[in-house]
Structures are given as C-alpha cells and as structure tokens.
A and B are shown apart, each in its own frame.
Chain A
Amino acid sequence: MSKVRSQAAGPLVQVEDLSVRFVSRDMNVPVVNGASFTLDQGEVLCLLGESGSGKSVTMRALMRLLPPTAQLGGKILVDGVDVPALPRSRLGEIRGSLISMIFQEPLTALDPVYTIGQQIGEAVREHEGVSQRDAMRRALELLELVQVPSAARRLAAYPHELSGGLRQRAMIALALSCRPKLLLADEPTTALDATVQIQVLLLLRELQRELGMATIFVTHDLGVACEVADKVAVMYAGRFVETGSIEDIMDRPSHPYTQGLLNSTVSESDRDHDLASIPGAPPDLTALPPGCSFAPRCAQRRPECDTRMPTLAGPAGHQSRCILPAIRAAA
C-alpha cells in the first residue's frame, strides 16, 4: 500500500478538470465536462442532479469503476494517489481500503451465494491478511457498528434473507470493513422506504463523523442532501452549475437551475397552486448547445447566454455558472 501512497498534505481528494467521455465506434458522448473540486478529511460532499447529469459517473471515475469505453481526462488525486495513472492491475490496492463504495441496490451489489459474514470476512482477509477467525470477529464488530440487531445470527444469513434496510446496513458494513478514507455513496437510500431511509441516513452521518471519513454522496433528492451534506455541487449536463455549502444552496440558490429544482420540489406551501416547474427536458449530451447548457430551459435567458458557456464564478465558498449574478451586482 505504502508504495502507492505518497503522504500528501492538503485536501484528501483533489479533482481538477475531470472529464469523462463514452467512446465507441458509433458514438462519442461527453458525460462529464470539466468537474473540479476538493474534499477534506471528514467532509461530506453531495453531488446533486437529475438522471443523466453525470453525478454517478463523476463519482465512479474516482475509483475507476467505469466501463472500458470510458475515456478519462483531467487530474484525480486521492490521498496522494494519482488514480487515472494507476495500472488496472493495481486498482485492488485502493479499492476497499482507500476508497470504498455503497450502491443503490444492495440485492444486486451483494453476492447472493455467500453469507454476509463470508463476504465481509473475505474483504478483511484480502486487505489485512488476518486469519479467518479474526476476519469473522471483525465482521461481527462491523455488523454491530452498523446497528444490525442480533448481529451474530445475521452473519450467517444470505442477502435474500434480510430485509431491505438490513441489506443496506450489511453493504455499509462491507464498505467500511477496510477502514476507507473516502466513502462513495451512490443514492444509498433511494430504494428504501421512508421510515428506513431516515434510519440509514442518520447511521451514515453518525459513522462518517465517528470514523472521520470523507464522503461523497450522490443524490437527486434535496431532502437527503439537507440531512447529510456539508458541501453541495449541483450538476447539469455534465457540469457543476453551482457549488456551495448546503445552507448557501438552500437559502440563496444562485443558478436558475438550482432555483428551479428547489421550486419544483413539492412542499407544504404549494397546495393550492401549480408547481413552478422547469419547462422542457435536459439536453441531449451529444448535441449540447454552444452556450450555457441550461439556456434553452431558462426563464431568465439573455442573448449572451447562447454564445459562450459561463465559467463558475463568485466568492470562493459559493460559486455559480451563470452570468446573471455578475450582471445584477454591476447594476
């Protein structure tokens, strides 16, 4: 492990100008177009966006969990490891121990023919080189850590024997088994019922704080982001359109897309009138407009929006890819 990692000061995760294209014989789709962010130890970043916005691909790029058709560009440094430069054969050294991931659907992510205990034990033995007995002891500790009731009995259970909430807890235990510094969570509560979703969210928040992990959380749900995030990056058509603290995003959304997203999220006060929805649909990634990608759906569109993609601008903590705030400030 130490061969790979050069102890670096500064943020745990540094991503600069990340781009991902899916290239095959008859298509060339830019899915992520220049995402940059940093993340400190113990921080939680939420990537917020709708389907096709590139949020999951951005996250998967961090552990190179993309199909061979994906072409990666830009810089990704996680704890000093240059992830894009790592040969395929050495990816196992960072997966699980440095970066770990929780998926949306635990039933497809877990192996149906092995018990929960075997799956966690295998990961522990593989990475830490301990005996089978110690690995199972660690597996039991992990299940207790994620608050699985009667953990000893669940260790011998197969994934299909557990309820949805317990399966998701088991997957969290598996992800934490090798003490990762960075946890990636791809919509981990979307498939769960409301009363179970809040339990898993609170558990993740607690574990993240206790273990001091940096966490990147992908979600389409503003409510989920409110419960877990420190920082938020709103994605649209493969770009960050607004970044800031969760309070900034909720209280002072600056990009028209973020504003539209907040308005179209149903809340109590909406009852007697139509929702302020965003007209139209997200753009075709193979034929993005030349200017701002959101301009065709934007109510505040100006002629200059169609000529050039605005850059992320604004104070360091709260930036937005829109020309309007600057125009308003000047006026």
Chain B
Amino acid sequence: MMISQETQRAPASAPIGHVAHNGESDPKRDRGGPAQPMLIVRDLKKHFEIGGSALGKNKTVVRAVDGVNFSVAKGETLGIVGESGCGKSTTARLLMHLIVPDSGDLIFDGEEVNRVRGINIRDLRQNMQMVFQDSYASLNPRLTIRDSIAYGPRVTGVGKAEALARAEKLLGMVGLEPGMFALRYPHELSGGQRQRVNIARALAMEPRMLILDESVSALDKSVEAQVLNLLRQLKRELNLTYVFISHDLNVVQYVSDRVLVMYLGQVVESGPVGAIYGGARHPYTTALLSSRPSMDPRRRVKTPPLSGDPPNPINPPSGCRFRTRCPHAQARCAEEAPVLAPSPLDPGHLAACHFPQAAPAKAA
C-alpha cells in the first residue's frame, strides 16, 4: 500500500502525471484491472438517533441510508437521483467516510476500505475526492485559491514549489488563467469560477474518482452548462470515474451512464440511463420523470403525478416505503418489503417493486 503510494509520487516533474496521454490509466495505480469495479458498496447503513431523554427513552431513529448496494465501474458516471431526505447526500458522505457507516462494506478497486488488509481512509481519500454544492462555504476564505488547491498536496508530502506549480497547472485545466486568478481570494470570484476552483482542488490529490454532490445545482443555467462541459472534458482527459448526485433529472440524464433512484434511504431502481429514462419499472421513477416540466407550453402537465410530500424518514411506512404514494399499491406492499430484482429482459436493470411496470424499453 505505502509502497505503491511512494512509486506514484516519484515522478515529481510531472504533476497530474498519473494518466498517460492517451487517456488510459496507469497500471501501477489501477490495481484491480479493468474488470474490477472502482467501487462496490454492500448493504451500507446509517441510522441517526434523534431526540429522547438522557436515559435513552423515546429515542427515534432516522434511517437515512438503509441497506444500499451498488457498484461503480471504472470510467463510468453513476448518477444518483431522489428527492430531499432520500439519503443521497448521506450516501456520498458515507462513501468518503466523512460520516462513519453503521454497517456495510466499501470496496475500492478490490480493496476493502478501513480493514486490516484493505485500503486505509487516508489513502482512500487520495483516490476519491468530493465537490460540494456550496462553492463558497467549501473554500477557506483566508487562503488564495492557489494555496487552497496546493493545500492537499502539501499536507500529503509534496514540496511547496511543486504543489504550487501543480495548483497553477490545475487552474489552467479548469479554465482559469493562472496569471489572473492564482492569487485571488474566494470572494473575488463568481459562483461558477469558485466551483471550478473546487474541482481543481479535488483534482490536486490526483484522485481516480470524484463524488459530485449537487455540484452544479447552485449555478445559473448558462454557467451550469459550462461546468458540465468542463466535467466531461476532465473525465475524458484524466480517465476519471464519477458519482454524480443531483435532484435535476435532466442533468443526470445528460452526464450519467447508469442511474440509481433512491427513495427514503433505499435504492428503488437502478440501471443504464436509457433503460431508466426510456422504460422505468418502478412507479416512483415513473412519477419522478413525469414531474419534470414539459418544456413545451402547448403540452403542459395536466395532473401532478404524485400528491403530497415524501414521508418522513423517521417512521417510514412498513413494507414498500413508496406504497403510501403509489397508485398501484396492494395489500402485499404493506406486508412485505420488495427486494431489488433484475428485469427478466435486462439483468442490469433492477427495480424494488412487487408489481414492476413492464414498460416498453425504448432505445436510449
């Protein structure tokens, strides 16, 4: 573990040098080989206890993430969608170990995270970086943006001159002219520019995977498009893997290869982007997709696909958690929680529903 870290830091002359020019990954870092998923998540759980007396009476439990399974293949973008309270941001923080999971396993490129023979959290975070929604709150206001970007490499043992050179190179890569921007402070930048800095800072650790938690949601549409283009370009050039979390279904459709739909702490459907958007099987996914505004004033939405708000994750409904809002709910849905099962037609398209819709799978 430590040896491989040493070797990849060795070519000091080449910052951001872990990627060969043809976009293929460096075999020294790609330990598991191309068939090994970048990240496997098994039965991930996080329950938060709230309220109650000091003696532990009347405690309630928020099941923020309740048994989530998925994997992310190398070089793919996994989109995670869902409404507020569905656990998508908690999932992101659990992946980074910013919150410690109650149970479940993370396997990063074949190595178990935080296990004796596995990868430790410090190394995990060098390989996996995160970009948050609030571009201003996530930067230190007292550091110039060049220092902010160089900070991570500095504390992991890169020399000062090299770290600063790497920061300037990264600024150039995210479209900010280093000569003009390097010595500015976060408050001197616009929201879009600050988010570019956050992306550069994440890349300064030379990660193989980025977790983008609502990273473009706070930006104006024209700036959002610029940042999405940048993310696409960086992914291509640096051979990155993304987990892209958003509540914006159109943006997720644009960036993702596969999509995970979450509802109240659980995955209700997952599959290739074309299968989800073209032939959703879970009624929640269908409702979510038809909640999108029409973009055509002549074909306005006539009736809302769902009524009411998502229920409280403190006391989720028994059985299927969606049954209280589901138009197809039957007695069985209250008694028995459905498991995530593959479609008979497409083994990669999973849905957790007793009565999945057999929607015609349109080509993406």
Interface of A toward B, CB cutoff 8 Å = 50-51, 149, 163-166, 193-199, 201-202, 205, 220-224, 226-227, 229, 246-247, 250, 260-261, 263-268, 270-271, 274-279, 281-282
Contacts and interface: CB of A to CB of B under 8 A. Distances in A.
Contact of A195 (B226, B303, B304, B364): B304
B133 interface: no
Contact of A276 (B225, B254, B298): B225
B305 interface: yes
Interface residues of B, number: 47
Nearest to A232: B297
Given A194-B292, A266-B250, A270-B254, A277 B297 contact: no
B225 A266 contact: yes
Interface string B283-294: 000011001111
B232 A274 contact: yes
B112 interface: no
Nearest to A227: B293
A246 B254 CA distance: 25
A278 B225 contact: yes
A180 to B, nearest CB: 24
B293 A224 contact: yes
A227 B83 CA distance: 21
A220 B223 CA distance: 12
B310 interface: yes
A189 B191 CA distance: 22
A166 B222 contact: no
Interface in B221-243: 221-226, 228-229, 232-233
Interface of B: 83-84, 190-193, 220-226, 228-229, 232-233, 247-251, 253-254, 273, 277, 287-288, 291-298, 300-301, 303-310, 364
A271 B254 contact: yes
A129 B140 CA distance: 54
Contacts of B193: 281
B247 A195 contact: no
B293 A281 contact: no
Nearest to A50: B220
Contacts of B248: 266
Given A149-B308, A271-B253, A281-B192, A261 B293 contact: no
Nearest to B254: A266
A261 B291 contact: no
A226 B297 contact: yes
Contacts of A279: 226
Contacts of B273: 271
A281 B190 contact: yes
Given A165-B309, A247-B298, 14 more contacts: A165-B308, A193-B309, A202-B304, A220-B221, A224-B293, A226-B294, A226-B296, A260-B222, A265-B221, A266-B228, A275-B225, A277-B223, A277-B229, A281-B193
Contact of A220 (B220, B250, B251): B220
Given A227-B301, A275-B225, A195 B294 contact: no
B293 A193 contact: no
A50 B221 contact: yes
A267 B295 contact: yes
A262 B225 CA distance: 11
Contact of B225 (A166, A199, A277): A277
A282 B309 CA distance: 36
A15 to B, nearest CB: 23
A246 B309 CA distance: 29
Q: What 9 pairs between A and B have smallest CB-CB spacing?
A: A223-B293, A264-B225, A277-B225, A193-B83, A50-B220, A163-B309, A275-B225, A278-B222, A199-B304
Indicate the member of A221, A229, A274 with the most B CB atoms within 10 Å. A274
A246 B297 contact: yes
A221 B288 CA distance: 18
Nearest to A165: B309
A279 B222 CA distance: 8
A76 to B, nearest CB: 27
Contacts of A277: 222-223, 225-226, 228-229
Contacts of A224: 293
Contacts of B307: 199
B294 A227 contact: yes
A112 to B, nearest CB: 19
Contacts of A201: 293, 301
Indicate the member of A149, A195, A271 with the most B CB atoms within 10 Å. A195
Contacts of B304: 195, 198-199, 202
